[in-house]
Every structure is written in structure tokens, then in C-alpha cells.
Amino acid sequence: MEENIYRKARKKAARQKPLLNNCESAQDLVYIERTKLLAIESGDKIPGPDDVASMARVYDAPELCNYYCSHQCPLGAGKPPLMYEDLSEIAVRLLSAMHYLEKSSDTIYKVFEDGKINDYEVEDFMKIIETVKKLSYSADSLELWAKKNGYIK
């Protein structure tokens, strides 16, 4: 059986929680019936959001939620998946985006002050949107880092 992300997370968690070594005993912790858990781990069944939330909590693997949202949820499909990164990598991206927005504050004010985007403001507006997306992604990455390191439960 090829190990998908859910199986890998359970196996990794089993190092700390031996009851997670197999689906038979894991089902009692994650509240997912054994055959369903096997189907999820084999890729034969896409888990539901409640299943993913339970596995993420029990396995101490918050990255499962992001994986589900960016790869399997019809509403989140296409959203860039978060990768677990070092805090320094996240900080550089976060500070870069914040610096750009700070430098561009006059432009941002001019673009938004009249409540409409003029033809000559479209390019600046698109740069602002891209930078805010980077800021949002960085905030999500920072939250994942904090969860993975036990600062947020």
C-alpha cells in the first residue's frame, strides 16, 4: 500500500502513541471506523472535513487540514498548499510583504480613496492584491508553524 499523507501522519504519531500503530486500535482514538480509515489511507476514499480534523488533532499533524483544504476540498481547491517551513523563511516573506505595503501606503491610499479603480491604477491595484496574498500565505504559514511547534492548539 502506497503511503499517503494520512497514513504517514498516523505512522509518525504512532512513535509517541503506540495505539496508532494499526487502524484497528487507531479507530478508537480518531473515531473513524477501521475500514473507512483503511480506505482513506489507501486513497480509495476522500475523508470528510470532520475525519481530517480528528486525524489532525489525534496525530498532532495540523498540516493535514491544509492538505485537505488545498487538495481535496472542492471549496479550497486551487489554494496554494502550505509547506512546513523554518520560522526564518516565513519571517523573511512576511517582512518583505509588509515592507512593500508600507512603502506603497500612499499608492494604496490613492487607489482606494475614491472607492473605484481607475485605468491608470489597475497595475498598482494588482500588485497590492498579490502582496496581500503573500501576506496572507505567510500568516497561514506562521500559524501552521505555531501549531506544529505547540504554541497554538
Domain of 135?
87-148
Residues 18 and 59 grouped into a single domain? yes
Number of domain units in the chain: 2
Burial class from Cβ neighbours inside 10 Å (0-12, 13-18, 19+) for residue 40 reads buried
Q: Are 128 and 111 in contact (CB under 8 A)?
A: yes
pLDDT tens per residue across span 48-66 = 999 999 999 999 999 999 8
The pTM assigned to this predicted structure is 0.69
Q: Give a yes or no: residue 78 inside a domain.
A: no
Q: Is 82 domain-assigned?
A: no
- Tens digit of pLDDT for each residue in 95-130? 999 999 998 888 888 888 888 888 888 898 899 999
Q: Are residues 54 and 9 part of one domain?
A: yes
Q: Which among 66, 27, 25 is positioned nearest to 49, based on CA atoms?
A: 66
Domain end among 45, 71, 97: 71
Vertex 80: Cα angle to 77 and 84 (nearest 5): 125
